Amino acid sequence: MAKIYGSVGGRKIGKAIAIHEGVQAELDRKAFEIAVRAEEILVQHRVDGHAEIDIEVADNNRYVVLSDERGQKAALSIEYGRQESIVVREDKDGRKHLDVIPAMDGLYILATASNLPKKRKGKVKLD
């Protein structure tokens, strides 16, 4: 009867596979491929925004990220869209103004580039 080991060289089998040179190279290749597709989609929609596509490396994983850190910090709205909202703004003279931020459909840049289903995040109910 065969015996199945849960570790290799003192490491859990999953970790041993994850750190394998070939697996890491494939992760780099796939992340780059997705990032290139995402950048192509983003460029089609960019007017004057600051959003960009980045690849983050953490531990043994790769993450393709839509970042808007330099702009309006609106990466979530860019990806999934947003509902219309009203914001109260105060000017330098202390007068209050209501600004309407229009609704926007999501572009699903990361989902499209990754060939994942386009799913809108659940609605949050505010009391």
**Using one digit for the tens of pLDDT, what is the confidence trace for 41-78?**
999 987 667 899 999 999 899 999 999 987 778 899 89
- The pLDDT of residue 99: 93
More reliable by pLDDT, 6 or 95: 95
pLDDT > 90: what percent of the chain?
A: 57
Whether residue 122 is predicted with pLDDT greater than 80 in this model: the reply is no
Backbone angles phi, psi at 98, to 5 degrees: -100, 125
pLDDT at 71: 72
Residue range 15-48, pLDDT digits in tens: 888 999 999 999 999 999 999 999 999 999 876 6
pTM of the model: 0.75
